[in-house]
């Protein structure tokens, strides 16, 4: 959907002046920097998370936002010796509007980031984690937001216990894509009109959906043609009109839906030409 600014831009600039805390209240968003554990331990990684509570009707975006939008971004300022890993992106939803499909999140989303605690961290030390979060929240209009966040945790020798937000991390971990199973054979081809994917699986999915990691490869709004026979998932994806060069590898998420629920897998599929 279009990127329209006005009052949202003023609020966006004003947000940058706010004093940093663990919680930020923004237009259509409540954002909190949270920890999976209640304390830190020397040499042990801790998982922090940016927890968004999103007003009904509004949405945020995945790392590939689809036909419009902008993915959230997160920047940490860490104490010496601490290091941040990559953002762990939960499985998105297809967000359809006339002629467009975006990829993102409604209602609630937790973006987890692993943080490595140095082995020489001192027990009893109070550690401050500072972060800047930026996002675009959209409904009929889009409003950019940003917030400076701070979270303080104590270093202790003993094994950290769960924080009050530990359940959020458990649920978010269930929404993370799994590695592609080693025993599942997969192949892909590309012609002038479409990507043609085939996956051998012992499951019996009732539907398959593909979320491309990179923009301008598939036609996001086009129907994804799915069929299943003899334990093989066949999925045809219309090629994007903006794809001007050949694609040697198709990367993204494959979501398999069944009566038991949904499972998502990260794939990196070499392609051959038809």
Question: What is the average pLDDT value for the chain, to the nearest integer?
Answer: 91
Which of 105-119, 126-140, 259-273 bottoms out in mean pLDDT, i.e. has the lowest? 259-273
pTM of the model: 0.89
**pLDDT greater than 60 at residue 4:** no
Q: Torsion over CA of 38, 52, 90 and 220, rounded to 10 degrees?
A: -170
- Beta strands 100-106; 59-66: pairing state: antiparallel
CATH topology of domain 7-174: Immunoglobulin-like (2.60.40)
Element (H, E) at 10: helix 7-15
Q: What is the pLDDT of residue 246?
A: 75
The predicted model gives 53-75 an average pLDDT of: 97
Q: How far apart are the first and last CA of the chain?
A: 34
3 state SS of 18 = coil
- Contact call for residues 236 and 225 (beta carbons, < 8 A): yes
What CATH number is given for 178-273 in this structure? 2.60.40
How far apart, in whole angstroms, are the C-alpha atoms of residue 247 and residue 88? 25
The three-class DSSP label of residue 9 is helix
Determine the 3-state secondary structure of 143 from DSSP. Answer: strand
pLDDT band of residue 78 (cuts 50, 70, 90) is: very high
Instruction: State the virtual CA torsion across 36, 38, 43, 49 in degrees, nearest 10.
Output: 30
Mean pLDDT of 123-152: 97
* CA pair distance 223, 245, nearest whole angstrom: 22
pLDDT higher than 60, residue 10: no
pLDDT value, residue 182: 87
Q: Is the pLDDT of residue 51 over 90?
A: yes
Q: Which is more confident, 149 or 202?
A: 149
pLDDT at 19: 57
pLDDT score of 5: 43
Q: Which of 46-60, 184-198, 237-251 has the lowest mean pLDDT?
A: 237-251
Number of neighbouring beta carbons within 10 Å of residue 241:
8
Q: What is the pLDDT of residue 186?
A: 93
Q: Where are the domains positioned within the chain?
A: 7-174, 178-273
The DSSP 8-state label assigned to residue 79 in this structure reads -
DSSP string, 164-219: TTHHHHHHHHHTSPEEPPTT--EEEEE-SSEEEEEEE-SS--SEEEEEESSSSSB-
Residue 9 has pLDDT above 60, yes or no: no
| Backbone CA torsion sign across 105, 86, 237, 185 | negative
Residue 7 confidence class, pLDDT cut points 50, 70, 90:
very low
Q: What are phi and psi of 174, to 5 degrees?
A: -70, -25
Q: Is 11 exposed, middle or buried (0-12, 13-18, 19+ CB in 10 A)?
A: middle
Q: What is the pLDDT of residues 104-115, one digit of tens each?
A: 999 999 999 999
Phi, then psi, of 244 in degrees rounded to 5:
-100, -10
Confidence of residue 243 (pLDDT cuts 50, 70, 90): confident
Q: Is 270 helix (H, G, I), strand (E, B) or coil?
A: strand
pLDDT on residue 98: 83
């Amino acid at each position: 959907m279009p990127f329209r600014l006005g009052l949202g831009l003023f609020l966006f600039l004003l947000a940058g002046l706010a004093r940093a805390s663990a919680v930020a209240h923004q237009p259509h968003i409540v954002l909190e920097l949270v920890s999976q554990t209640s304390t830190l331990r020397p040499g042990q990684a801790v998982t922090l998370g940016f927890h968004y509570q999103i007003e009904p009707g509004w949405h945020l975006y995945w790392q590939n936002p689809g036909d419009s939008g902008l993915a959230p971004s997160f920047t940490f300022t860490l104490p010496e010796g601490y290091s941040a890993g990559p953002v762990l992106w939960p499985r998105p939803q297809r967000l359809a509007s006339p002629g467009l499909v975006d990829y993102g999140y409604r209602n609630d989303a937790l973006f987890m980031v692993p943080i490595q605690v140095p082995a020489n961290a001192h027990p009893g030390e109070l550690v401050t984690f500072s972060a800047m979060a930026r996002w675009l929240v959209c409904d009929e209009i889009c409003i950019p937001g940003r917030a400076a966040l701070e979270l303080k945790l104590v270093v202790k020798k003993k094994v950290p216990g769960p924080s009050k937000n530990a359940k959020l991390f458990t649920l978010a971990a269930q929404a993370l894509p799994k590695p592609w199973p080693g025993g599942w054979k997969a192949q892909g081809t590309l012609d002038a009109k479409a990507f043609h994917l085939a996956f051998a699986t012992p499951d019996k999915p009732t539907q398959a959906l593909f979320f491309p990691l990179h923009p301008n490869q598939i036609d996001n709004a086009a129907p994804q043609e799915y069929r299943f026979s003899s334990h093989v998932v066949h999925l045809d994806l219309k090629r994007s009109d903006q794809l001007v060069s050949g694609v040697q590898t198709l990367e993204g998420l494959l979501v398999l839906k069944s009566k038991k629920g949904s499972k998502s897998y990260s794939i990196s599929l070499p392609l051959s030409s038809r």
